[in-house]
Homo-oligomer: A and B are copies of this chain.
Amino acid sequence: MEDGIALKARTKEAKQAVIVGGGFIGLETAEELRQAGLSVTVLEALPRLLPFLPEDYSTRIQRELESHGVAVRLGATAAQVEVENGRATGVSLAGGETLPADLVLFSVGVRPSSRLAVECGLELGLRGGIVVDERQRTSDPAIYAAGDCVQMKNLITGEPCYFPLGTTANKQGRVAGENLAGSYSAFPGVLGSQVTKIFDLYAASTGLTPEQAEKAGFSPAVCSITKGDRASYYPGGGENHLTLVLDRGTGRLLGAQGLGTSTVAGRMNVLATAITAKMTVMDLNELDLVYSPSVAPVYDPILIAASQALKCVK
C-alpha cells in the first residue's frame, strides 16, 4: 500500500518510466503510468509476456500494450540503475544499451517472506515457502502461517505449488484464525485462478498449463477457439479466446486460459468450477448456461470450446 501511494506521488513529476518485469504487476502498472501521461518501457527477461498463457495470447497482449504507446522489450535484463544526485536517470541493459528513466519500477516476482520462519526452525518447501497443513499449521504445531509466505497445495495434482494471490491469502488467513480460535477449518488448495486487465484486454487462467499437465503425468490435449462474447448482431460485443487443457484419455478438464473482453473473467470462473468438480469436456459440453443476445451467443464460447475439445478425447 505504501509503495502504491509513493508511486502515485512520483508519477506527478516523472516523465519516463522503465518497468523491470512484465508480469501482472508490471503490466497493470504500465497501463496506469501510461494513462498518467508517462512514456513507459517494460523490460521482460523471457522471450514472451505471461508465458503461462498460449503463445498467441502473449503476442496479442504485447500488441495491445504497444498500440497504447507502451514499449515492450523482450529478452531484456536490467543490469544497473543509473543514478545522479540520488535520483534515477536511466536503466542499463545487460547488452550495454542505456534507457533514460526518471522512474524505475521493479516487479520481478514474489518471494515468500519466510525469514522469521527460518529463525524459528520451521520447515520450508517450494521456493522457500513455509510448509503448512490443511489447517495452515506449520511444522511447529503451535505456529500457524497464511498468505504469500506459505507453500500451497495444487487442487488438481495434490502437489505443492506457490501462487501468491490476494484471494488465496485472504482465505488462508481466515482458516488460520478459525483454527487458532479453537474451531476447525481447512483450506483445500488452489487452482491458481487469476485475471488481469491490459488496457481493453482481459487475460485469465485457471488450473494447469499443458506443460504442468504433462509433468503431472496426464496426457494433455489443447484446444483453442475464438467466439464473440454475445450474439453477433448485438452491438458492443467483442471476442473471447478460450483455450482448454484436457486429459486426452479421460477428457477431464485440467486447465483453461482466456483472453478478450471483461466477460472472460466470468467464463474462467465457470471453468474453474468445472475443474474443481472434476468435470470432463463431455460434461462441459452439456452445461445449461444462460443465453440472451446481450450477454452470450446461443452457444456460449464455453460450449463451443467444449464441443471442439471433445474431438481430442481418446
Contact = CB atoms under 8 A, between A and B. Distances in A.
A274 B288 CA distance: 11
Contacts of A262: 263, 294-295
A273 B274 CA distance: 7
A36 to B, nearest CB: 15
B269 A299 contact: no
Given A266-B267, A266-B270, A270-B269, A294 B197 contact: yes
Interface string A263-302: 1011111101110110100010011111110111011101
Given A267-B266, A298-B170, A272 B290 contact: yes
A192 interface: yes
Question: Which of A167, A266, A298 gathers the greatest number of chain B CB atoms within 10 Å?
Answer: A266
Nearest to A271: B273
B206 A290 contact: yes
Interface string A177-221: 000000000001011111111000010101000000000000000
Nearest to A174: B307
A286 B288 CA distance: 22
A277 B287 CA distance: 10
Interface string A239-256: 000000000000000000
A71 interface: no
Interface residues of A, number: 47
Interface in A125-181: 155, 165-168, 170
A298 B195 CA distance: 12
Nearest to A167: B291
A286 B188 contact: yes
Contact of A195 (B155, B188, B270, B292): B292
28 contacts: A165-B291, A167-B289, A167-B291, A168-B288, A170-B298, A188-B286, A191-B288, A192-B288, A193-B288, A195-B290, A195-B292, A196-B292, A197-B292, A206-B290, A262-B263, A263-B265, A265-B266, A266-B269, A267-B269, A269-B290, A269-B302, A270-B270, A270-B273, A272-B287, A272-B289, A273-B279, A276-B277, A277-B283
Given A170-B299, A194-B290, 6 more contacts: A166-B298, A167-B291, A195-B291, A202-B295, A268-B290, A272-B288
